Amino acid sequence: MFAQAAELELRSVSKRYAGQREPAIRELSLTVPAGEVCVLVGPSGSGKTTAMRLINRMIPLSGGDVLLGGRSVLEREPRELRREIGYVIQQIGLFPHLTVGENVATVPRLLRWPKARVAARVRELLQLIGLDPDEMAGRYPAQLSGGQRQRVGVARALAADPPLMLMDEPFGAIDPINRAHLQDEFLRLQATVNKTVVFVTHDIDEAIKMGDRIAILREGGVLAQYDTPTNILTHPADDFVAQFVGADRALKRLSLTTLADLQLIAPNGAPPQPAGERTVTRETTVHDALSMLLAAGGKPLAVTNGNGTVEGLVTLGLVEQLLSEDGAAGGSANGTPASPPEADGAIPRRPGASPAEADRARADGAGANPAGATAQDGLAHAPATRDGSPR
Ligand code: ADP
Ligand code: MG
């Protein structure tokens, strides 16, 4: 259903608009590997939208080159090129006088797909984005919520299986709750479609959540840093990046890690926990777990599976350990997971001792009762962050 994704390379790309003294983009070079999400983030006016329009030749380059799948876009006929690049923008995306089905069918029709194939594709895509085709295909954009319109915009952009998707602040006009839903949905969708995506936002939190890599632009379209979310948070290249990601970057990093990535303290037969405010699961982010730990005065939390069985305990000490590792476990710039660092927590591991043995030693100290464990007995091993794990 989705077969195509192509590497995108920007090679010393520059843009100076007619009549402007300063360039909007200055010598921008970066490569997005096929199937990865690159988030372009930066303050208003830093050239994000300009970069998108240069990629699909809506505006001409002043210098440099753009290669899609190794081939210069300058060799391509612009209209034909744009059919191979899905484009999603906020608000004005859909044709108001066409139904949802007709909107989604736009590019397949331009490509003269047979009618039956177009109809099947529309159904398939509407189902993929969670809209019932029978109910939704005949509606007009004005008869949809803002979130539904954005979903249809994404379906339309995906219709002809483009190797590249450009998304310019696609969720910018959506309220925070629906925005979080759309972000989650997009990440699930991307796990299926595996497109090369350039996603523009001015919101660093959205960038951290959505990106395999983040390109931070500053005024004048100068690239300040291009790196994984973990590396941007743990090793900002300069003061501009540090300020842009915010003083709470250590806390933001905890949103990239879930409890599944921590080596939990063994429960040693703790009784099953009824689901409630004091229980968390492996899918809970470390950020949310920390918030609950603090709310409970530092008492360890029981991590349960779906049946309420306690799989392990999480403590303030474990979170502290994760923070003190300072990015050592983050993905490296080429996207391969970094090798696990040796645990260097409060309880030294004997040479040759397996993580499981260390775990048992720790659990003995902690006791079987969640409430009996102290906040200091945590010992974490390599946390695999989202951008460090293979997709
Ligand atoms: P962003 O999307 O990051 O907010 P833009 O790419 O829209 O930034 O704009 C980058 C710079 O280029 C800004 O200074 C903007 O004023 C200027 N600019 C954008 N479009 C044009 C245009 N058509 N003509 C002249 N200047 C433009
Ligand atoms: Mg813009």
Atom of ligand 1 nearest to the CA of 169: 2
What's residue 172's pLDDT?
87
What's residue 173's pLDDT?
82
Residue 2, C-beta contacts closer than 8 angstroms, at least 6 positions apart = 158, 161, 192, 193, 194, 195
320 CA from centroid of ligand 2 (Å): 38
Lookup: tokens for 159:
């219709």
**What distance in Å separates the CA atoms of residue 54 and residue 29, rounded to the nearest whole number?**
13
50 CA from centroid of ligand 2 (Å): 7
* Ligand 1 proximal residues by C-beta, below 6 Å: 17, 20, 24, 42, 44-50
Q: Which residue has the tokens 């309220």?
A: 175
Atom of ligand 1 nearest to the CA of 15: 12
pLDDT digits (tens, 9 = 90+) for 266-319: 887 777 776 666 678 998 999 999 999 999 999 999 999 878 888 999 999 999
Helix (H, G, I), strand (E, B) or coil at 259: helix
Q: Which residues pair with 41 in a beta bridge?
A: 201, 216
48 CA from centroid of ligand 1 (Å): 8
Sign of CA dihedral 270, 275, 278, 281: positive
**What distance in Å separates the CA atoms of residue 63 and residue 16, rounded to the nearest whole number?**
9
Instruction: Report the alpha-carbon angle 287-359-298, nearest 5.
Output: 35
Other C-beta atoms lying within 10 Å of the C-beta of residue 206: 21
Ligand 1: which residue has its CA nearest to atom 10?
47
Task: Provide the H-helix boundaries in 129-170.
Answer: 133-136, 146-158
**Residues recorded for the chain:** 391
**What distance in Å separates the CA atoms of residue 191 and residue 185, rounded to the nearest whole number?**
10
Average pLDDT score over residue span 341-358? 38
pLDDT digits (tens, 9 = 90+) for 51-86: 999 999 999 999 999 999 999 999 999 999 999 999
Helix (H, G, I), strand (E, B) or coil at 251: helix
Written as one letter, the residue type at 58 is M
Sign of CA dihedral 111, 112, 118, 122: positive
What letter would DSSP give residue 175? -
> Residues whose CB is under 5 A from ligand 2 (ion)?
48-49
pLDDT digits (tens, 9 = 90+) for 129-156: 999 999 999 999 999 998 899 999 999 9
Q: Which residue has the tokens 């540090």?
A: 242
Ligand 1: which residue has its CA nearest to atom 25?
17
Percent of the chain with pLDDT over 90: 63
Task: Please name which ligand lies nearest the alpha carbon of 53.
Answer: 1
String of b and e for 138-169 (b: at least 16 CB within 10 Å)? eeebeebebbbbbbbbbbbbbbbbbbbbbbbb
String of b and e for 251-280 (b: at least 16 CB within 10 Å)? ebbbbbbbbebbbbbbbbebeebeeeebbb
User: Distances in Å between the alpha carbon of 198 and those of 15, 174, 254?
Assistant: 18, 19, 24
Mutate to test the pocket of ligand 1, among 16, 22, 49, 167 (most ligand atoms within 8 A of CB): 49
Residue 283, C-beta contacts closer than 8 angstroms, at least 6 positions apart = 258, 259, 260
pLDDT digits (tens, 9 = 90+) for 204-248: 999 999 999 999 999 999 999 999 999 999 999 999 999 999 988
Ligand 1: which residue has its CA nearest to atom 24?
17
Average pLDDT score over residue span 356-377? 39
What's residue 18's pLDDT?
95
17 CA from centroid of ligand 1 (Å): 8
**What distance in Å separates the CA atoms of residue 391 and residue 386, rounded to the nearest whole number?**
9
User: Distances in Å between the alpha carbon of 20 and those of 25, 62, 250, 257?
Assistant: 12, 12, 39, 44
Q: Point out the least confidently predicted range of 12-21, 85-94, 228-237.
A: 85-94
Average pLDDT score over residue span 313-328? 81
Q: Which residues pair with 196 in a beta bridge?
A: 164
Task: Please name which ligand lies nearest the alpha carbon of 222.
Answer: 1
Answer whether 233's CB lies under 8 Å from 249's CB. yes
What's residue 174's pLDDT?
85
Average pLDDT score over residue span 343-354? 37
**What distance in Å separates the CA atoms of residue 284 and residue 254, rounded to the nearest whole number?**
11
Atom of ligand 1 nearest to the CA of 200: 2
Ligand 1: which residue has its CA nearest to atom 26?
17
Lookup: tokens for 237:
């290249």
Average pLDDT score over residue span 344-351? 36
- What's the mean pLDDT when you consider all of the chain? 83
Is the predicted pLDDT of residue 250 greater than 50, yes or no? Answer: yes
Ligand 1: which residue has its CA nearest to atom 16?
45
Task: Give pTM, 2 decimals.
Answer: 0.78
Answer whether 189's CB lies under 8 Å from 129's CB. yes
Answer whether 265's CB lies under 8 Å from 362's CB. yes
Average pLDDT score over residue span 12-40? 97
Q: Are strands 196-201 and 37-41 parallel, antiparallel or unpaired?
A: parallel
**What distance in Å separates the CA atoms of residue 245 and residue 339, rounded to the nearest whole number?**
26
Q: Which residues pair with 213 in a beta bridge?
A: 38
Answer whether 98's CB lies under 8 Å from 194's CB. no
Tell me which of 376 and 162 has the higher pLDDT. Answer: 162
What letter would DSSP give residue 273? -
Q: Which residues pair with 66 in a beta bridge?
A: 10
